[in-house]
Structure 1
Amino acid sequence: MSKGNNWDYQLEPSELSRIIEMAWEDRTPFEAIKTLYGMDEQAVISLMRRQLKPSSFKLWRQRVSGRVTKHERLREPAVSRAYCPTQYKR
């Protein structure tokens, strides 16, 4: 049921919800979403654009743009994981 990069059609509602939640979390890098769901940063941005209201998408983009914690390569080397084991919901 693939429609190019339109990941919405390939995801269960619970997966879609979790990806959106992970995208909003400050300390969850895009690389963690790619590892778990195979979606790179551009795919997450496209998904968020389709799933959020325009004002919410704009707020999210402002929030994550340039945020060091959303990109593993920009993080301090001491940060070795993307989540607290007790919050992991998959």
Structure 2
Amino acid sequence: MTDKLALSETDKSRVIEMAWEDRTPFEAIERLYGLSEPQVIALMRSSIKRKTFNNWRERVSGRKTKHGKLRSPDVSRGYCSTQYKPARKR
């Protein structure tokens, strides 16, 4: 298991970003960074403002797309199809 303190600042930032994404399940974070859901919650609690953390917890609690076992098999990717748009040519 990865110690959350052993993560680089870049990795911590990416874990926080993934935790904010509605369609990224906690299992994906655990697979990539070795952090369980309770460890992600602890990281979020220590890394963001209290009110922001409370808003995040309220939003993700019970969200089916954040838990692999609850999500529909129709959801096969961890992001919205419009989230990563190709760069425009100038």
Q: Distance in 1 between the 2:73 and 2:11 partners?
A: 29
User: What is the Cα-based RMSD across aligned positions, in Å?
Assistant: 2.1
Taking structure 1 as the reference length, the TM-score comes to 0.82
Alpha-carbon contact 1:6-1:47 (below 8 Å) kept:
no
1:6-45 equivalence runs, <5 A: 7=4, 9-45=5-41
Offset of residue 81 of structure 1: 2.9
Q: How far, CA to CA, are the matches of 2:3 and 2:54 in structure 1?
A: 20
Identity percentage of aligned residues: 56
CA distance in 2 between partners of 1:6 and 1:51 (Å)? 15
For each residue in 1:34-83, what CA deviation from the matched residue of structure 2 results, as whole angstroms up to 9, or x when unmatched? 00000010000011011111111101000100111100111111222324
Letter in 1 for 2:64: V
The corresponding residue for 2:88 is none
Q: For this pair of structures, how many residues does the alignment match?
A: 83
Between Structure 1 and Structure 2, which shows a larger proportion of helix residues?
1
Point out where structure 2 has 5 or more consecutive residues left out of the alignment.
85-90
State the structure with more CA Rg: 2
Quick check: 1:58 aligned with 2:54? yes
**Does residue 1:81 correspond to 2:87, yes or no?**
no
Change in 2 beyond 3 A, CA 1:52/1:32 = same
Q: Aligned with 1:73: secondary structure? A: coil
- Structure 1 unaligned spans of 5+: none
Stretches (4+) displaced over 3 A: 83-87
